[in-house]
């Protein structure tokens, strides 16, 4: 082992590996290692300029006592003679690499298992390596964040987490520990992390560098502030989008859109934005309206703008072989490449290859087409669907971008896709950029991304999972997060059980970042507009999905909660401002606001909407009361104003027209 101080960074070299530990913001380290001659130079999610404080580096000892230590404020790292790193917060160990090799005098490391802390294996035929990094497990630790996973567990300790993007799964690899530290796996490679009881294991299937960032603090709020300080924060969210967004699968003509907008106006319900969903186009990749059904998009947008309604339009990254853009884009190398077999990455409603947004030329090409066919007509925003991308088969090893093998960088795809639009829209200066995406990665919050939870089932079980997922997304630095109210996949809109689910989901959505109606509503008994197998008229549409579509009783409840949302707009504006200032999410785990309360670290079926409102969603069919834990302090039930003392559980009524919410006094 060889140690040296290189301008305030600790360099450790052993057996062909170079390890670099350096200060990266207050009480924080960036830790990198490589088996190559030089580091790749990629900053990935660490995009922000940060101060690199002066740190203390000490190299001492001989033989098995040879070690180096580096200290940056409250965080310290010690690297021993075998290259094993131990991290300390205020001189107390909180994280240590896992090493089980024979030899040495340190008891934890004296084993015959031949398991090392950082295992590199060359990818055959390539310049990348697979990387396996292990840490000792901490007894009693709770782990949160990491993005969005469709499971019932918010505490990820004991979970295996795939580091890959899929429809409804979003890898944002930042974790918050109950032990007072946060860790960003600053690597967009496909892989997995296992937060086991015996050890933690991070795997990148194809990479050139190990790269992670660590910070320590006393509260989750301070951890998130530090994390978003190095990866970026969400911009200011426009007040004119804090109300209702109206969407369904799918408005097929501009007449349908205008009819819905005018009815909302007649009903006295202001919608902030209306969404034009997929297959309004000729074929995928043309990125333009089928003029048979959308004869004058600009006139439609102008009319909607006069009503104070913004308009967002769906764009997919898939390009059909029949598209007018397929030939030019394929010829210029602007599409994803396959390593073997046919050039196809997506097969829904067409033989498609998806765009390669890592290529700056691709970003320019797609923007110019979408600017001409949408933005120049006055459209306000883009719904960037299928942004994982949604591969026909998730065989990541078969795809390649201009950045490199998909295995090495695919998790960053949705962020690069969003920048096709964000970078140009920001430069054009038409106001704050707010686009809607189905996926994101670490740092996506700075690119104007509202991220929703994908095509999830319309069940109470899925509803429960979405709330847990949204809370973890917030802890991964993504404050602009939402869901399809009622879930996406519905067999029968007339089913009273579904309608009850819809109401319970809608009540939750009022107390979330973005209030948005959407869903694929069955049964599919509406005939298509066209007999052709392409164009804007052939694909099916779902049943109506407006507030009045589910009966008068439910409409009355929805209007009541719509009014609650509008009345909260001043408060919601303060939450969005806080997100842009310190990274705080709008929906927050209980422990985010009450980190000293041990009970709050156990709760995932209730949450805080900002610092004022405690929200207790209803997750079961037919449930008409529920138990709620109130932390210390005074609380007021919003249904009747009754005051409660905190520090205990209370049981409250939950009739169908009320979801329990307590206001902090």
In this predicted structure, the answer to whether residue 52 has a pLDDT above a threshold of 90 is no
Q: What percent of the chain has pLDDT over 70?
A: 98
Q: 436: which strand partners? A: 383, 450
* Cis geometry, peptide bond prior to residue 249 (ω within 30 degrees of 0): no
Q: Which of 27, 128, 380, 388 is catalytic?
A: 388
Q: Which of 534, 558, 576 is nearest to 242 (CA)?
A: 576
**10-49 confidence digits (pLDDT tens):** 999 999 999 999 999 999 999 999 999 999 999 999 999 9
Does the active-site annotation cover 388? Answer: yes
Convert the pLDDT of each residue in 634-660 to its tens digit: 999 999 999 999 999 999 999 999 999
Cis peptide before 658 (omega within 30 of 0): no
The contacts of residue 15 (CB under 8 Å, 6+ apart) are: none
What average pLDDT score do residues 92-110 get? 76
Annotated active-site residue 385? The verdict is: yes
* Number of other residues whose CB lies within 10 A of the CB of residue 291: 12
Provide, rounded to the nearest whole percent, the portion of the chain with pLDDT above 90.
Answer: 96
Catalytic residue among 22, 385, 465, 520: 385
Which one of 272, 455, 465, 546 is the catalytic residue? Answer: 455
pLDDT in tens, 226-277: 999 999 999 999 999 999 999 999 999 999 999 999 999 999 999 999 999 9
Catalytic annotation present for 272:
no
Strands (E), 461-553: 481-482, 489-490, 515-517, 520-521
Is residue 111 predicted with pLDDT exceeding 70? no
> Which range is least confidently modeled, 32-36, 107-111, 407-411?
107-111
pLDDT tens digit sequence for 345-384: 999 999 999 999 999 999 999 999 999 999 999 999 999 9
Structure tokens at 443: 């740092």
Q: Position of tokens 């396996």? A: 132
- Which pLDDT score, from 0 to 100, does residue 101 have? 84
Q: How confident is the model over 292-346, as pLDDT tens digits? A: 999 999 999 999 999 999 999 999 999 999 999 999 999 999 999 999 999 999 9
Segment 611-618 shows an average pLDDT of 99
User: What's the confidence (pLDDT) of residue 105?
Assistant: 47
**Tens digits of per-residue pLDDT, 124-149?**
988 999 999 999 999 999 999 999 99
pLDDT for 110 equals 58
Instruction: Judge whether 23 and 29 are in contact, CB under 8 Å.
Output: yes
DSSP-based three-state secondary structure for 370: helix
**pTM of the shown model:** 0.97
Alpha-helix residue ranges (DSSP H) falling in 121-219: none
Interatomic CA distance for residues 144 and 129, integer angstroms: 28
The model's pLDDT over 474-493, given as tens digits with 9 standing for 90+, comes to 999 999 999 999 999 999 99
Q: Give the domains, in start order, of the chain with CATH numbers.
A: 2-231 (2.60.40.1760), 316-362+383-433 (no CATH), 589-664 (2.60.40.1180)
């Amino acid at each position: 082992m060889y140690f040296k101080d290189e301008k305030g960074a600790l360099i450790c070299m052993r057996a062909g590996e170079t390890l670099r530990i350096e200060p990266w913001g207050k009480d924080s380290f960036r830790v990198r290692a490589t088996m190559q001659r030089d580091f790749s130079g990629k900053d990935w999610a660490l995009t922000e300029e940060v101060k690199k404080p002066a740190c203390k580096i000490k190299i001492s000892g001989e033989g098995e006592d040879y070690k180096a230590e580096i200290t940056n404020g409250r965080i310290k790292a010690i690297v021993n003679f075998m290259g094993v790193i131990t991290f300390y917060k205020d001189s107390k160990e909180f994280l240590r690499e896992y090493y089980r090799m024979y030899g040495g005098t340190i008891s934890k490391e004296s084993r015959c298992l031949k398991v090392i802390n950082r295992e590199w294996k060359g990818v055959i035929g390539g310049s990348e390596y697979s990387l396996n990094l292990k840490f000792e497990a901490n007894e009693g630790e709770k782990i949160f964040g990491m993005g969005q996973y469709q499971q019932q567990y918010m505490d990820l300790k004991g979970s295996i987490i795939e580091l890959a993007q899929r429809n409804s799964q979003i890898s944002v690899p930042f974790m918050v520990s109950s032990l007072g530290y946060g860790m960003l796996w600053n690597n967009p490679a496909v892989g997995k992390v296992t937060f086991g009881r015996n050890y933690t294991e991070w795997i990148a299937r194809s990479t050139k560098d190990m790269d992670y960032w660590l910070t320590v603090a006393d509260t989750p709020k301070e951890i998130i502030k530090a994390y978003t300080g190095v990866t970026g924060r969400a911009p200011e969210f426009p007040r004119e989008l804090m109300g209702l967004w109206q969407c369904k699968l799918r408005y097929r003509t501009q007449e349908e859109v205008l009819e819905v907008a005018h009815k909302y106006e007649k009903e006295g319900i202001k919608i902030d934005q209306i969404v034009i969903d997929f297959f309004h186009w000729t074929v995928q990749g043309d990125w333009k309206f089928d003029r048979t059904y959308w004869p004058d998009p600009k006139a439609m947008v102008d009319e909607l703008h006069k009503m104070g309604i913004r308009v967002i339009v769906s764009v997919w990254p898939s390009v059909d072989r029949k598209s007018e853009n397929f030939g030019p884009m394929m010829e210029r190398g602007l599409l994803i490449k396959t390593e073997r077999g046919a050039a196809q990455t997506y097969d829904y409603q067409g033989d498609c290859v998806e765009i390669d947004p890592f290529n700056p030329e691709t970003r320019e090409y797609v923007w110019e087409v979408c600017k001409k066919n949408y933005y120049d007509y006055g459209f306000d925003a883009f719904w960037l669907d299928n942004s994982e991308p949604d591969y026909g088969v998730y065989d990541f090893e078969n795809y390649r971008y201009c950045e490199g093998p998909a295995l090495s960088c695919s998790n960053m795809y949705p962020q690069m896709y969003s920048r096709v639009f964000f970078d140009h829209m920001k430069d054009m200066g038409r106001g704050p950029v707010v686009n809607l995406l189905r996926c994101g990665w670490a740092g996506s919050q700075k690119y104007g991304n509202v991220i929703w939870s994908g095509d999830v089932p319309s069940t109470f079980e899925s509803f429960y999972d979405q709330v847990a997922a949204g809370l973890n997304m917030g802890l991964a630095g993504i404050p602009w997060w939402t869901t399809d109210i009622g879930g996406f996949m519905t067999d029968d809109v007339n089913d009273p059980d579904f309608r009850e689910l819809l109401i319970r989901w809608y009540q939750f959505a009022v107390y979330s970042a973005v209030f948005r109606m959407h869903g694929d509503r069955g049964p599919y008994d509406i005939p298509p507009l066209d007999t052709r197998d392409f164009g804007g008229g052939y694909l099916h549409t779902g049943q109506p999905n407006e507030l009045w579509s589910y009966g008068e009783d439910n409409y009355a409840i929805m209007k009541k909660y719509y009014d609650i949302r509008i009345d909260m707009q001043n408060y919601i504006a303060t939450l969005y401002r806080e997100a842009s200032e310190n990274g705080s999410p709008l929906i927050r785990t209980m422990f985010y606001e009450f980190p000293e309360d041990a009970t709050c670290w156990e709760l995932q079926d209730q949450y805080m909407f900002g610092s004022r409102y405690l929200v207790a969603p209803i997750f079961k069919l037919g449930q008409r009361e529920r138990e709620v834990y109130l932390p210390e302090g005074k609380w007021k039930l919003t249904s009747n104003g009754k005051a409660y003392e905190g520090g205990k559980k209370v049981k409250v009524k939950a009739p169908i027209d009320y979801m329990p919410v307590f206001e902090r006094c």
